Amino acid sequence: MSRIGKNPITVPSGVELSIQGNVVSVKGPKGELTQEVDEVISMEYADNVLTLSRPNDDKEVRSKHGLYRALVQNMITGVSEGYKVQLQMVGVGFRAAAQGQQLNLSLGYSHPIIIELPKEVKLEAETKKGEAPLVTLSSHDKQLLGTVAAKIRSLRKIEPYKGKGVRFLGEQIRRKAGKTAAK
């Protein structure tokens, strides 16, 4: 059995879960999500506990078992608690400003970068004197949040010599030693 897939999912109070065929719908205080599950995986929902099972131990079926269990668990956590990602803009003159659903970034290019975020993602930009600007993204959809954060991070990847760029808060960067001066 898959270690992830065999774990049952406990649905917290305040979250409604419904299964129609192979489509799982989850509704909670933070929002509503749906996910289509492969027909190979069977689902049983009773007493606020959802269990996913598979018919055989083929490699492809085993991988789908763990995948869909994790996706449904992320949906349930998202609609009940939500997810949050913080990005830090490290570099001289790097700025971030939020204007509604638009993120205005100044990342050392000759022009400002303006990104229109989906309505499901909430945006906050904070700049304190002497610290790197901090952008906080929050949403109930973990997949969408990860995609948006990766897109913002790809605008200025961390360079290994000075450590400048867009990074996740608390991320460890592998630094390289630069050239040493001639003697």
Same structural domain for residues 88 and 69? no
Number of domains comprising the chain: 2
Average pLDDT, the chain: 91
Same structural domain for residues 133 and 157? yes
pLDDT band at 1 (very low <50, low <70, confident <90, very high): very low
> Which amino acid makes up residue 112?
P
Summarize the confidence of residues 30-50 as an average pLDDT.
Answer: 92
Q: Which of 40, 57, 80 is the last residue of a domain?
A: 80
CATH number at residue 119: 3.90.930.12
> Which pLDDT tens digit goes with each residue over 51-100?
999 999 888 898 899 999 999 999 999 999 999 999 999 999 899 999 99
Distance CA 98, CA 6 (A): 42
Summarize the confidence of residues 27-36 as an average pLDDT.
Answer: 93
Asked whether residue 71 is domain-assigned, the answer is yes
Could you tell me the pTM of the whole model?
Answer: 0.87
- As given in the structure block, the two tokens for residue 95 are 């700025």
Distance CA 132, CA 107 (A): 12
Q: Which residues contact 49 (CB under 8 A, 6 or more apart)?
A: 8, 9, 10, 11
Same structural domain for residues 75 and 100? no
In DSSP terms, 27 is beta-bridged to 16, 32
> Which pLDDT tens digit goes with each residue over 151-169?
999 999 999 999 899 999 9
Whole-angstrom CA distances from 28 to 11, 25, 31 are: 10, 10, 6
For 140, which DSSP code? Answer: S
Asked whether residue 182 is domain-assigned, the answer is no
pLDDT band at 181 (very low <50, low <70, confident <90, very high): low
Domain of residue 138 covers 83-168
Same structural domain for residues 49 and 88? no
- What is the DSSP annotation of 6-44? TS-EEPPTT-EEEEETTEEEEE-SS-EEEEE--TTSEEE
